[in-house]
Structures are given as structure tokens and as C-alpha cells.
Structure 1
């Protein structure tokens, strides 16, 4: 994953004239733009790690904008979505916002309004992309830990002393110290505070999945 990946404004609209007009407008402001006539073509190029925002027509052939939005959530997309429509009504707008859309603009809209929303979306995207990058980095480091190192990592982060960990695991205190030193090298940290921070970050990585699973059980 590239930490400094270039941001892209993705435009999906089945009207060729609107696609071309939006592409021209955005490129004149210095944005990198990719345009698509339908959701399925966009999904061919989509990866969860892309950095940018999505300008999405709510009424599309085969897969509607709302259906794509829901599908992208299942793919763990972090792209902020701005819906556009010439036919949008209040129920559609409410549902789009309920599903997490950043905004809903009805055609015709002022160019300045659109550009302001896109700038806002790209700021949000940059923050989300940074969080994704940090999560991937942490997951890569955690994957290097052995089962025993992970045990000791959790115990130390919870505030347990080496001698307590040793007694509970049936190993010597010296062995705990060796494992602790090794895991800190693998995580590229030097202090207890950094170790605790890594543990908190790990818990934050899995909290959204846990909450989603709980919601699915209801």
C-alpha cells in the first residue's frame, strides 16, 4: 500500500455529456479524474485501498448508485461518496445519507458547490487513507510475532510484570525478557508506552469488525 498514493475523483454517470463535462471541470482544477458509465465498470478497477472520492449518479443501469454504495460498504471501501441526480427525491437522499454518503446534490448544481464538496471529500479521504496505511503497517508487524510473543505482548500491554507472566505461562522470567525484547524489535518500538500504544491500535483495528458482527446478530 502506497502511503502517498495520488488521489482520484471517480465519476460514475450514464450520461456521456455529463461525464465529459465533469471530467473537464475537475481536470481544469488540477484533479485526477476517472470516469465510468456504470457501476460494474468501476468495480473492475476498484480496490479497497484506493485514495480519493466518488461522484455517483443515483440512477444507473443494472446496478443503481444506492446499490453500489451498499456493495462498497461490504468491500470495506473508505471512499467518501457524493451523490448526484436529476431525479433525486427526499427518500433517496435520506437513504443515501443513512448509508454514509457525504452529500447529495441535485442537477443542475453550481460548479462551486460541487468543487467545495469534492475538496471536503478529498480531505476526509486523505485522513482515512492514512489510517488504512497505519493499520496495514501494524498488521504486517504483528504478523511477524510468534504465538508466544503475542501472548507476552498482550500481557505486558495489560500491565503484567515479567515474573507474573512467567509464573502464569510456566516459563522462566529470563525467557519472558527474551521474548519481550524480540517482539519489541519486530514491532520497531523501544518503550513500554509505545508497546501499549501498539496494543490499543490493534484493538481499534478489530473493533469495527466486532461491532458489525454484533449488529448482524441482532
Structure 2
């Protein structure tokens, strides 16, 4: 039941916390707003499990740092990242660290609810991550070389124009390859495609650039 599901809203912007809390409460979720990553980490190890709606740009400790600390402390809660406009590269880094989805501000209510629904599906089905890992390489095998090139560019946070320049093709052609790639992978969002891509990188060492606050 949705009313048994707890969402930790971690954002330094009071207006964002209040807005997200309002939408989630009206959808039947319980919420725990927190003003910083530090405040969340102080209670996370000894609190009720749930999912985390985590802003990526916060003072003192940004969202990527919070995610890494969660891993170090064994805090196994699914994370949905909140990013600002143009922060896709940072969102990609967050997904590499382990976030299952990202939302770009301002976001629509239905996108928020869909992302949190997916997060709780992951929380409640411990086999979901393993199943995704075992299937990812098979699903990627259906892509052509150019479609995979486009996905690889997206997986490091590059916009279509940069991918087009790197591949020596037009941005419009990148859009076509991107649409074909998503259709073949049977995904509706970039976040879903990235999860498949990162699952296929199982065992590889991944490095991320620091985020400037």
C-alpha cells in the first residue's frame, strides 16, 4: 500500500521540500522532509527504511557525496535524484553511483509519482537489481554500432550536439539513433536506458568528477 511507503525528501530548498511533500502525501505516501544530506545521514542508519528523493546540489554535502556515504555506511535505500536544468551530466554521475532515476526541476507530479513507484518496486523486490544485471548485456546486443555509440555518449552525460560532433554526424541523426535505441531497449526515458547501460558495466571501475556547489 502506498500509505505504508516512506519517502525521505532531502533538499535545502524549503519550497521544494514543501511542494514534493504535498504531492506525495496526496498520493498516499508518508514523507520525512530533511534540509540537508548531513541531517539525513544522521538518522538514516537507525530509522525506518524507505526511498530517498535527493537533491544533487546542496551546501556542505552534495547529493553525490550523500550517495557515496550511504554506500560506505551500508544504507540500502533506493535514491531518486533531483537536478536543475542542464545538470544531466551530474544526473548521470548519480546513476553511476547507484541512483535508480532522476527528475529535472521543475518536474510534473506524474513523473514524481512514477519515479517513486519504481523506487519502491526496487526496495520491495530484492532480486530486481540482480535480474536487471543478468539481462542488460542481452538487451544491449540488439543495438547497432551507431546506436551503441549514441548510448555511450549519453552515459557520460554528453548532450546530442556533443555526441553528433564526436561521431561526425548531424544532431538530427543522433536523435534518430537515440529514438531507435530507446525503442529497441523498450524504455521510455533516458534514466531507464542508462540503468541498462550501467548494469552491463558490471565489474568495471567507474570514476566521477566532483560536483561544484
- TM class by shorter-chain length? 0.5 to 0.7
The alignment of Structure 1 onto Structure 2 pairs a total of residues equal to: 127
Instruction: Give the match for residue 120 of structure 2.
Output: 122
Aligned to 2:97: 99
Once the two structures are superposed, the pairs formed by residues 122-201 of structure 1 within 5 Å of their partners are 122-128=120-126
Q: Which has the larger radius of gyration?
A: 1
- 5+ residue gaps, structure 1, are 1-5, 130-211
1:78 matched residue in structure 2: 76
Instruction: String of CA shifts for 1:140-193, please: whole Å, max 9, x gaps.
Output: xxxxxxxxxxxxxxxxxxxxxxxxxxxxxxxxxxxxxxxxxxxxxxxxxxxxxx
Q: Is the 8 A contact 1:48 1:77 kept in 2?
A: no
Structure 1 position 86, deviation (Å): 1.7
Relative distance call for 1:105 and 1:116 in structure 2 (3 A) is same
**Structure 2: distance between partners of 1:78 and 1:50:** 11
In structure 2, the partner of 1:189 is: none
- For structure 2, the residue ranges without an aligned partner over 5 or more in a row are 128-202, 206-213
The DSSP-based 3-state class of the residue aligned with 1:35 is strand
For residues 91 and 48 of structure 1, the distance between their equivalents in structure 2, rounded to whole angstroms, comes to 32
TM-aligned CA distance change 1:90 to 1:30, over 3 Å: closer
Q: TM-score, structure 2 length as denominator?
A: 0.55
Q: Going by fraction, where is helix more abundant, 1 or 2?
A: 1
Deviation string 1:29-67 (CA, Å, 9 cap, x unpaired) is 111100011011111211177421100000011000010
* Aligned-partner Cα distance in 2 for 1:75–1:50: 15
Q: What SS does the corresponding residue of 1:9 show, helix, strand or coil?
A: strand
Residue pair 1:8, 1:31 contacting (<8 A) in 2 also: yes
CA distance in 2, matches of 1:7, 1:115: 12
The aligned counterpart of 1:16 is 14
Question: Cα RMSD between the aligned structures?
Answer: 2.3
Offset, 1:112? 0.1
Q: Output one character per residue of 1:75-119: Cα deviation in whole Å (capped at 9) or x when no partner.
A: 112211100122552321221111111011110111101101101
Query: Is residue 111 of structure 2 the alignment partner of residue 113 of structure 1?
Result: yes
Alignment TM-score, normalising by the size of structure 1: 0.54
